[in-house]
Amino acid sequence: MPGHFATTTLTLTTGTTETVTDLTHACEQFLAQHADGRDGLLNVFVPHATAGVAVIETGAGSDDDLLAALHTLLPADDRWQHRHGSPGHGRDHVLPALVPPHATLPVIGGRLELGTWQSLCLVDTNRDNADRQVRLSFMGQSPARGRPDTDD
């Protein structure tokens, strides 16, 4: 049985400070329009060399804690070989090795299956590029046409 596929690109402006931007609502809206009650997978991809995607609790300080931890692990100083941009910008190019530029999450009945306190977020430490794109792609099963799936 052929599957269902839908994709879109979100365009965001993250500003000139390090940010954790909650994408959960935008993902839910996308699924409400395109998943149509199907089970499947939502892939979230950031086509940037200096940003990543994280599943994390937001609003209780964890997003700020993540940025603080990244600042400790990847200080914005002159140690980096990659030197263009603002001071310490080379660390932004190392970020995707720690916070990957993608996540694939389960969708059940057309709804994103996150844990109680989980949110899907864009992590952006690059103060030099405030314009970001996020690709959302839903891959799901086609609805059964009144008969159970078979392996025949």
| 51 occurs within a structural domain | yes
| 109, 39 contact by CB (below 8 A) | yes
CATH number at residue 18: 2.60.120.460
Asked if the model's pLDDT at residue 144 lies above 60, the reply is no
- pLDDT score of 148: 47
Q: How many domains does the chain fold into?
A: 1
In whole angstroms, what is the distance from residue 128 CA to residue 21 CA? 16
| 82 occurs within a structural domain | yes
Which range among 4-13, 75-84, 99-108, 130-139 shows the weakest confidence by mean pLDDT?
75-84
**In sequence order, what DSSP letters do the residues of 116-141 get, joined into one string?**
TT-EEEEEE--TT--EEEEEEEEEEP
| 3 occurs within a structural domain | no
Q: Would you place residue 146 in the very low, low, confident or very high pLDDT band (cuts 50, 70, 90)? A: very low
Domain extent, residue 85, equals 10-131
- pLDDT score of 69: 97
Which range among 62-66, 78-82, 111-115, 120-124 shows the weakest confidence by mean pLDDT?
78-82
The tens digit of pLDDT for each residue in 34-80 reads: 999 999 999 999 999 999 999 999 989 999 999 999 999 999 898 98
Q: Which of 85, 3, 110, 95 is nearest to 49 (CA)?
A: 95
Residue 37, sorted as left (phi over 0), alpha (psi -120 to 50) or beta, turns out to be left
Q: Which of 101, 75, 72 is nearest to 88 (CA)?
A: 75
| 150, 49 contact by CB (below 8 A) | no
pLDDT mean over 99-112: 98
| 30 occurs within a structural domain | yes
